[in-house]
């Protein structure tokens, strides 16, 4: 089918199984600093139990993918309604300023509303994200589109990065060879796994799953360090645990009762030395540390803020439904 002037008409479909390659190529073109590779897309989208083909809208000109929008309605235990997330959006540069971005975003919002979500959010969804927020510097058009679509700002977060080329590659052997202060630092062995998983789960169930998945698929030295008191594990740190996220530091945690004794900083430096020893040139992470002491620890290890992401949300409740709810509440009272 062709349109005016012989141009092929634009059509819209849901996710097509044979289009993953085109999708990732377009994603890389429109968001080069944040586009997932196949390993990350498989982990966070295709293997996600919450994935729905109708939540991934594709826009085509003939057989060429020119735009996409991906939304996730994520059920949360104990919540009456699923959480709605915008997880990806892009239009090919040569197809912009024709309203396609708005069209794709509206399709995602309809999907989330039909799935029962009361709001659509962009960013702020923990460590397992595909889109961390809207970067106003890297993607100003996307930032403007979100605001024009009625999303309101809900906050911001930062990314930090560290140049690993300044770390001697052999420093990890020296650093990890003995105890330091009240704790011993080493990589976990098989006997440590049950306790390590319990410690990680105390911070986040997702962290426990991440560590378990990593240890299940590795046969070499794990990308993890632990801090040990004589009778227990008191902290841990890892890197490259998230599939498709080379150079990502974390997660890391030290149990509350031993914080302030240097364990967090020591785990951080050992992990960075391990990354340098593997030939990585930089380390990075999102969701910058809260509090002055956390920021000071990362800055002393060489981390600097290098990006900011704005977080947004938009109400999906129809106005008449909101009025009905308010009237019912008023009547009940």
Query: How many other C-beta atoms are found inside a 10 Å radius of the C-beta of residue 208?
Result: 18
Residue with the two structure tokens 């632990």: 226
Asked if the model's pLDDT at residue 333 lies above 80, the reply is no
Looking at domain 170-278, its CATH class is alpha beta
Q: How far is CA 104 from CA 72, 80, 108, 311, in A?
A: 14, 27, 6, 19
Sign of the C-alpha dihedral, residues 286, 46, 11, 30? Answer: positive
Would you say the C-alpha torsion 183, 186, 192, 198 has a positive or negative sign?
Answer: positive
Domain boundaries, the chain: 6-157+310-332, 170-278
User: Of all helices (H) and strands (E), which one includes residue 270?
Assistant: helix 263-277
| pLDDT band with cut points at 50, 70 and 90 for residue 288 | low
Residue 87 predicted with pLDDT over 60: yes
Q: What is the CA radius of gyration of the chain?
A: 23
Task: Give the position of tokens 């708005």.
Answer: 102
If pLDDT is split at 50, 70 and 90, which confidence band does 14 have? very high
For residue 217, how many other CB atoms are within 10 A of its CB? Answer: 8
Instruction: Tell me whether the CATH fold assigned to 6-157+310-332 matches the one assigned to 170-278.
Output: yes
- Digit-coded pLDDT (tens) for 166-198: 887 666 554 444 455 789 999 999 999 999 999
pLDDT-derived band at 326 (thresholds 50, 70, 90) equals very low
Q: Which of 3-12, 158-167, 295-304 has the lowest mean pLDDT?
A: 3-12
The architecture that CATH gives domain 6-157+310-332 is 3-Layer(aba) Sandwich (3.40)
Query: Beta strands 232-239 and 249-254: pairing type?
Result: antiparallel
Dihedrals phi, psi of 179, to nearest 5 degrees:
-70, 155
Provide the token pair at 238: 């890892």
Q: What is the pLDDT of residue 329?
A: 41
* Average pLDDT estimate for 289-309: 86
């Amino acid at each position: 089918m062709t349109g005016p002037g012989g141009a092929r008409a634009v059509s819209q479909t849901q996710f097509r199984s044979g289009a993953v390659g085109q999708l990732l190529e377009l994603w890389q073109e429109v968001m080069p600093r944040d586009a997932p590779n196949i390993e990350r897309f498989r982990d966070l989208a295709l293997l996600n139990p919450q994935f729905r083909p109708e939540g991934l809208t594709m826009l085509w000109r003939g057989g060429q993918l020119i735009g996409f929008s991906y939304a996730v309605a994520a059920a949360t235990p104990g919540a009456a309604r699923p959480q709605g997330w915008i997880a990806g959006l892009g239009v090919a540069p040569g197809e912009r300023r024709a309203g396609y971005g708005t069209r794709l975003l509206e399709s995602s919002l309809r999907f989330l509303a039909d799935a029962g979500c009361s709001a659509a959010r962009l960013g702020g969804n923990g460590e397992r994200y595909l889109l961390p927020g809207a970067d106003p510097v890297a993607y100003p058009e996307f930032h403007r589109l979100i605001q024009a679509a009625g999303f309101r700002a809900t906050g911001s977060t930062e990314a930090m990065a560290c140049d690993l080329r300044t770390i001697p590659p052999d420093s990890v052997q020296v650093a990890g060879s003995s105890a330091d202060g009240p704790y011993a630092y080493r990589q976990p062995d098989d006997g440590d796994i049950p306790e390590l998983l319990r410690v990680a789960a105390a911070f986040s169930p997702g962290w426990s799953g991440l560590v378990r998945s990593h240890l299940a698929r590795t046969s070499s030295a794990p990308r993890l360090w632990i801090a040990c008191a004589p009778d227990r594990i008191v902290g841990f740190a890892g890197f490259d645990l998230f599939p498709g996220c080379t150079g990502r530091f974390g997660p890391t945690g030290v149990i509350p009762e031993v914080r302030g004794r240097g364990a967090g900083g020591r785990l951080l430096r050992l992990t960075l030395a391990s990354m340098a020893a593997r030939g990585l040139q930089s380390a990075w992470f999102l969701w910058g540390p809260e509090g002055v002491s956390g920021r000071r620890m990362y800055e002393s290890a060489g981390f600097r803020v290098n990006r900011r992401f704005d977080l947004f949300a938009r109400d999906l409740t129809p106005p008449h439904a909101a009025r009905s709810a308010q009237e019912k509440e008023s009547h009940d009272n």
